[in-house]
Homo-oligomer: A and B are copies of this chain.
Amino acid sequence: MRHKNVEIVAEKCALQEILDVIGGKWAMSIIYALFSGTRRFSELERMIPGINTRMLVKELKNLTQNGIVTRKVYPTVPPTVEYTLTPKGRKLEPSIAELYKWGQEYVK
């Protein structure tokens, strides 16, 4: 008999927070795009094929509220808005980079 005691894993808190951040369909793509540095809204839109305005806005708002990215507005005309990863967000880099590596190794 290999497993006498079944330990409880995946207590809600940690898992939920993680999935709230990277669980969305586009969150990882956005974070990944921001690894390369600060980006404007339209840059992100062009870097991530298939995303639409509404989803980009929504995810960026979510990431901002979760303390993953910061949003900086320049009062220009037309408006300029820049998004940057926070330290908390940058700490996701190793994990996400690893996941991408895994994906590339195992896709077909």
**Residues of chain A whose beta carbon lies under 8 Å from any beta carbon of chain B:** 2-3, 6-15, 17-19, 22-23, 25, 28-29, 32-33, 36-39, 43, 46-50, 67, 88, 91-92, 94-96, 98-100, 102-108
> Chain B residues near A108 (CB, 8 Å)?
13
> Chain B residues near A107 (CB, 8 Å)?
13-14, 17
Question: What are 20 A-B pairs at a CB distance below 8 A?
Answer: A2-B37, A2-B38, A3-B38, A6-B46, A7-B36, A9-B32, A10-B33, A12-B50, A13-B103, A14-B103, A14-B107, A18-B28, A19-B25, A19-B28, A23-B25, A67-B106, A88-B106, A95-B95, A95-B96, A95-B99
- How many monomers of this protein are in the complex? 2
Contact A47 B14 (CB under 8 A): no
Q: Tell me the bound Cα distance from A94 to B98 in angstroms.
A: 8
